[in-house]
């Protein structure tokens, strides 16, 4: 079962997430981070930036990218990762990877190759969509899927329209690491905040493992940490147990 930590607010989640990255980099200065975009991981990036760690040898792999946007559009994940991760954290741009470069039909396999060549992801930061997606693996995605082109659901396009001038501008297609790709990471750190994520989070953490809720694939992974605020945790049946387990967490156990 995932370790579920119910935090007071996004700031506390950010601090814990940053602590996990700092601990990793302390013993592995050339660690490979899996980075998500969207609003959810921002508190982690902010807390990490405030620690001024030397992350110059760290590599980073983004989860996904829109298809059909110029790579330098402000909403492209190439731009978002540069703005919110590479620059503030002081990463070497040559070590930061975002899928979707080169010929599209080869981009999935090329990204899988790059991930393998880098030695795989040590710590994967994840958010979850209101429809249960992780990465852009929408409901129905194969639990064994690898990096490939997907079609976004209308719900995801509506959720992400806040970053565009209109819903029509939100691309219909994307390239995303698969659920099988994400499962290869050594440690998954899933964050969720707010009432709007409560159903998806409960289904992912406590529901049946099913392609209907792609986030439920985390239940197949041996090392998962879930950081949630009270509102996102509000539909978790075992919330009391998670609080009890965290309050009694042995001091020798890492996050
Ligand atoms: C982004 C990603 C998505 C988001 C999810 C939640 O790279 O892979 O799975 O994590 O759509 O988005 P926010 O955090 O904006 O609610």
CATH number at residue 125: 3.40.50.1360
117 vs 254, higher pLDDT? 117
What integer is the mean pLDDT of 35-48?
Answer: 98
Both tokens of 244, joined, read 């009890």
The residue contributing the CA closest to ligand 1 atom 11 is 129
Q: Would 252 be classed as within a structural domain? A: no
Residue numbers annotated as active site: 64, 131, 133, 138
Residue 253 lies in a domain: no
pLDDT at 238: 98
255 within some domain = no
pLDDT of residue 1: 74
pLDDT, tens digit, 9 for 90 and up, residues 135-149? 999 999 999 999 999
Per-residue pLDDT of 178-212, as tens digits, reads 999 999 999 999 999 999 999 999 999 999 999 99
| 3-state DSSP assignment of residue 64 | strand
Task: Specify the pLDDT at position 179.
Answer: 98
Q: Which domain holds residue 52?
A: 3-247
Q: Measured between alpha carbons, how far is residue 68 from residues 54, 104, 148, 172, 174 in Å?
A: 35, 10, 14, 8, 8
Q: What is the pTM of this model?
A: 0.98
Q: Are 206 and 238 in contact (CB under 8 A)?
A: yes
Residue nearest (by alpha carbon) to ligand 1 atom 4: 127
Q: How many residues does the chain have?
A: 255
67 pLDDT above the threshold of 80: yes
What mean pLDDT comes out for the span 230-247? 98
The per-residue pLDDT for 140 is 98
- Could you list the beta-strand ranges (E) of 109-203: 123-126, 148-151, 173-176, 187-192
Residue 178 falls inside a structural domain? yes
pLDDT digits (tens, 9 = 90+) for 239-248: 999 999 999 9
Q: Kindly give the distance from the C-alpha atom of residue 215 to the centroid of ligand 1, in angstroms, as a whole number.
A: 11
- Which tokens belong to 28? 């592995």
**Could you tell me if the CB of 151 is within 6 A of ligand 1?**
no
Q: Quick check: is 151 in a domain?
A: yes
165 inside domain = yes
CA dist., res. 249 & res. 255, Å (int)? 10
Contact 35, 61 (CB under 8 A): yes
CA distances from 25 to 18, 70, 140, 187 (A): 11, 33, 35, 13
pLDDT > 90: percent of the chain: 98
Nearest protein Cα to ligand 1, atom 10: 127
User: Could you give the CA distance from residue 114 to residue 99 in angstroms, rounded to a whole number?
Assistant: 10
Let me know if residue 153 belongs to a domain: yes
Q: Is residue 105 situated within a structural domain? A: yes
The answer to whether the CB of 137 is under 6 A from ligand 1 is no
Average pLDDT taken over every residue of the chain: 97
Q: Is 215 in the pocket of ligand 1 (CB under 6 A)?
A: no
Number of structural domains in the chain = 1
């Amino acid at each position: 079962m995932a370790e579920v930590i119910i935090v007071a607010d996004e700031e506390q989640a950010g601090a814990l997430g940053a602590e996990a990255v700092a601990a990793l980099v302390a013993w592995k200065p050339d660690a490979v981070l899996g980075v998500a975009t969207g609003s959810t991981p921002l508190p982690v990036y902010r807390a990490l930036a405030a620690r001024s760690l030397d992350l110059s040898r760290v590599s980073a792999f983004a989860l996904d990218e829109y298809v059909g946007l110029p790579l330098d559009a402000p909403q492209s994940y190439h731009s978002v990762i540069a703005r919110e991760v590479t620059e503030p954290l002081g990463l070497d741009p040559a070590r930061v990877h975002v899928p979707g470069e080169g010929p599209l039909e080869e981009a999935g396999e090329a990204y899988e190759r790059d991930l393998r060549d880098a030695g795989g992801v040590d710590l994967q930061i994840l958010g979850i969509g209101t429809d249960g997606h992780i990465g852009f693996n929408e409901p129905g995605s194969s639990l064994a899927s690898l990096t490939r082109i997907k079609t976004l659901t209308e719900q995801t396009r509506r959720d992400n329209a806040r970053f565009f001038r209109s819903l029509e501008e939100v691309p219909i297609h994307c390239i995303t690491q698969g659920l099988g790709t994400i499962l290869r990471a050594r440690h998954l750190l899933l964050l969720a905040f707010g009432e709007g994520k409560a159903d998806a989070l409960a289904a992912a953490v406590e529901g049946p493992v099913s392609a209907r809720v792609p986030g439920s694939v985390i239940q197949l992974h041996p090392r998962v940490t879930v950081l949630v605020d009270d509102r996102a945790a509000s539909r978790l049946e075992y919330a009391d147990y998670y609080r009890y387990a965290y309050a009694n967490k042995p001091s020798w156990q890492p996050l």
